[in-house]
Structure 1
Amino acid sequence: MTDQQPLPPKSFDPSTFRDKPVSFVRRSGRMTPGQQRGWDELSPLYRIEVPRGPAATSVAEGASIDPEALFGRRAPLVVEVGSGQGHAIVHAASTHPERDHIAIEVFRAGLARTMNAADEVGARNLRLIEANAPEVLERFLPAGSADELWVFFPDPWAKVRHQKRRLVNDEFAAIAARVLRPGGVLRLATDWEDYAEQMREVLDAAPDFTRDFAGDWAERFDGRILTAFERKGADKGRDIRDLSYRRA
């Protein structure tokens, strides 16, 4: 099972748990002492408490936040889906103090490392959400609250039978449009060619988005720092594909 949930009782009704596949498998794992210390000490500063639905990473119906109240100001908001170890979002928050940033991730060790990295550079314009990203975009964040939405190197679910788990699909395009303000930008990157083509096909067909690039692919987003993960893909001979779409 996903989300570290206990085994359900025999009378359990799956329809009350989750009726849609999620784009991750959340395996249990121990944090290093440094990560655990960061989680314990820095969570009150960086982590946004999320009212839960039935699953460990779900968002309760009716739960929401006000980013302006959260950060104590009105500023452009950048949201990253699947922030991993936090390299991109911490770099963005530290180099753009005039913007606010929210990272969404389900893996606690990654969130702990993000907190530690943010604290080292004094990035106080960053908050973290431990939850299933589509639920956050669909209900937890206010409509039109984000200026940019980032999806960098999501799990490609390479096997055909698993591709229903891919994050970027028609439904995701609709909820991404909901959370972005008019004129806001959705930025994506992947090192899997067929997933890049799927992303482009989905977003080209989405009524709320228009291409923000010419040609087949967008130029590499200069706000995305080069990570070991991206280098690994390039070293294997994979082309890194960027896409950029503007909320119509």
Structure 2
Amino acid sequence: MLRRVLYKSQRNKKNQFFQEVHKIREVSASWAGGESFPHDPSLQGIEDREFTPAAIGVKCAPIHPIQLFILQSNIANIASPRSPSLLKSMFSSAEIEPEEQQILFELLIRSFAFPHLLNIEDCIRTIGDLGQLWYRQDFIERDKAFEDIIQFPIESSFSWILTTHTFNYLPSETDTLLAIFDLYSAVADTALRELKSRYLFDEIENEAKLGMQQLLFILRNYIY
């Protein structure tokens, strides 16, 4: 697709637009010899339907963040909805066709997922960490002066809300109840490693014990 855009821009002598598209092509791949097919007829504004570009090998290394940033900037300059390349006038057409602009714009949107794909392990770990949901309910360490009397009510606990909801509305999913209580592991890890609060850790531990006792009590009534 870029060869077609390069050919049209070179034929119409739109040098600035040609340079921007050419930069996208050079940055997008690892070229042998550091050049992107210098003998390609499209670079001279010549349409050669019989020309077949050589195959590009698979990259042996992930894309560098700077390389990705340059690629995104160049694509945004010519393919964003407000790009001057899409403007038409009475005597000239747009520098890029709508179909070609749409393809490049979709590539731009997808490129923002590349950093997450390159760091997929940490991304999955962050997504799977539900501990922050517990802290969003009510930050119980709001006043250290009353540490001895503050007690987070279990009825307001996110894990316990999920547990009672499962019992009342999803009885077929009771096998997953222990997985719900695994949330306390993530919460306790955050308390020790990030917040460095022994008080919060003890509060979480007590709530987990109380929740397990309540769970056993409800299970006994549910089964018998």
**Same fold per TM (> 0.5)?**
no
Higher strand share goes to which structure? Answer: 1
Pairwise TM-score range, normalised by the shorter structure:
under 0.3
Give 1 or 2 for the bigger CA radius of gyration.
2
TM-score, normalised to structure 1, is: 0.21
TM-score, normalised to structure 2, is: 0.23
Q: Which of structures 1 and 2 has the larger relative contact order (alpha carbons within 8 angstroms, sep 6+)?
A: 1
